[in-house]
Amino acid sequence: MNVMRKTLLISAMVAAGTTAQAANVSDDVVKIGVLGDMSGVYADISGQGSVEAVKMAVEDFGGTVLGKKIEVVHADDQNKPDVGSVIARKWVEEENVDVINGAVASSVTGAVTKFMSSKEKITLIAASASHAFTTKACSPFNAHWTYDVVSLANGTVKPMVQSGKKKWFFVTADYAFGHALEKVATGVISNNGGEVVGGVRAPLGTTDFSSYILQAQSSGADVIALANAGTDMVNALKTAAEFGVTDMVDVAGLLVFTPNAQALDPAVAGGMKLTTGFYWDMDDQTREWSKRYMARMDGKIPAMPHAGAYSSTMHYLKAVEAAGTDESKAVMAKMKEMPVEDFFSRNGYLRKDGRMVHDMLQVRIKNADERRDGNDIFAIEQIIPGKDAFLKLEEGGCKFALES
């Protein structure tokens, strides 16, 4: 099929005298590549769910834009930066992919965005946490959608410090993501009059956290912050509950996705507060979309990256239509001009540096007696306005955005 398309393309180019037709949509199709972890540790927060979410956006948009077909392709980046960038290169150079939606692991996203920017193509980042993509590694072609480490720290840490929990202890995943989260959260703590009394760096994939939990307990901290994710976070929290720590001090999970919360017994996780960019059961709008998603995903509820994947794709397609072309710079200009208002994004807009600023949610994990069923996991405590949740443009240090 690939060969056929190439042959067609070449013959078309020859026929047109090697210059592409004045058509506004390159090669007569708008092609979206969904890159994600399809089978590894992040499969539940991206993977097939993101592919379905993007397909839903395309279907809801009508399947065509500017009279041209919209196509969705997907691939497994295996959480490896080299694999991710090879796929991106193949997509862009050989298969005429116009935009990539995805990559989860921040390392993969870093590699992919760098490549895409060099080709002047847009990356919609719906699942990654690092705030680098809109600060020191920012690019005019990045759109960082769902959340980032700064909004997590602001949403979860700030209110706790302000309510008098001054002493913090970190259990940090010992790699780039954990370090970044710890650094940002530490900044929030000290800016609000709190202090960090200790911390441990636990290797990724640690099974037993009891040693670290004991150290945290004897540190005299008011709060144990878990600057880790996924299975690490689940294991650490389980251990904290088992050792009776959760009865005495607060445990704050800095990055908790809905599937992680579902992997925890309510007796263990009930009451914990956290920040999320989206919750499926927030209101009628979110429920309507989530029910359609669940019908396609064997009843699994969407995690925030899935909703972000839909929202970012929809906004991209609207921008293509408004710009009348799929040329990246024109589309990005429209994306930054139009407000982002849908079931996912409230009061949202795409800022100059590529940060999609929207309201975040502070939620509490429900106890067993509050839950209707297995999907009823969060109670919304507070809505954090986008301007308070995310880093300010001036603080981020994104060069092109500050100069323009």
Partner 1 sequence: MFDINLFALFGQLLIGLINGSFYALLALGLAIIFGLLKVINFSQGALYMLGAFGAWMGLNYLGISYWWALFLVPLAVGAIGILCERFLIRPIANEDHLYSLLLTFGVALVLQGLFTHWYGSSGLPYAIPDELKGGFRLPFMYLPTYRAWIIVVSLAVCLGTWLLIEKTKLGAYLRAGTENPQLMQAFGINVPLIVTLTYGFGVALAGFAGVLAAPVYSVSPEMGSNILIVVFAIVVIGGMGSIGGAIATGLGMGVVEGLTKYFYPEASNTVIFLVMVLVLLTKPAGLFGKEA
Instruction: For partner 1, give the closer residue by CB, 193 or 299.
Output: 299
Q: How far is the CB of 58 from partner 1 (least distance, A)?
A: 24
Alpha carbons 68 and 319: distance in angstroms, whole number = 14
Q: Name the one range near partner 1 by CB under 8 A: 60-68, 260-268, 282-290, 308-316.
A: 260-268
Listed in order, strand segments (DSSP E) in 77-179 are 99-102, 122-125, 142-144, 167-173
Binding test (CB under 8 A) with partner 1, winner from 231, 325, 347, 375: 231
Q: How far is the CB of 245 from partner 1 (least distance, A)?
A: 8
Q: By rule CB under 8 A, what string of x and - marks binding of each residue 182-221 to partner 1?
A: ------------------xxxx-xxxx-xxx-xx--x---
Confirm if 325 and 331 have CB atoms less than 8 A apart.
Answer: yes
Q: Is 234 in the site for partner 1 (CB under 8 A)?
A: yes
Alpha carbons 59 and 97: distance in angstroms, whole number = 18
DSSP string, 169-190: EEEEESSHHHHHHHHHHHHHHH
End-to-end CA distance of the chain: 43
Instruction: For partner 1, give the closer residue by CB, 97 or 171.
Output: 171
Q: Is 76 in the site for partner 1 (CB under 8 A)?
A: no
Binding test (CB under 8 A) with partner 1, winner from 23, 29, 73, 263: 263
Q: Is 260 in the site for partner 1 (CB under 8 A)?
A: yes
What angle separates helix 149-162 from helix 176-191, to the nearest 10 degrees? 40
Confirm if 372 and 320 have CB atoms less than 8 A apart.
Answer: no
Q: Is 23 in the site for partner 1 (CB under 8 A)?
A: no
- Please give the residues from 145 up to 174 whose contact with partner 1 meets the rule CB under 8 A: 174
Confirm if 336 and 84 have CB atoms less than 8 A apart.
Answer: no
Alpha carbons 194 and 200: distance in angstroms, whole number = 18
Q: Name the one range near partner 1 by CB under 8 A: 80-88, 252-260, 308-316, 342-350.
A: 252-260
Question: Residues in the site for partner 1, rule: CB under 8 A?
Answer: 39-45, 174, 200-203, 205-208, 210-212, 214-215, 218, 230-231, 234-235, 238-239, 242-244, 257, 259-260, 262-268, 300
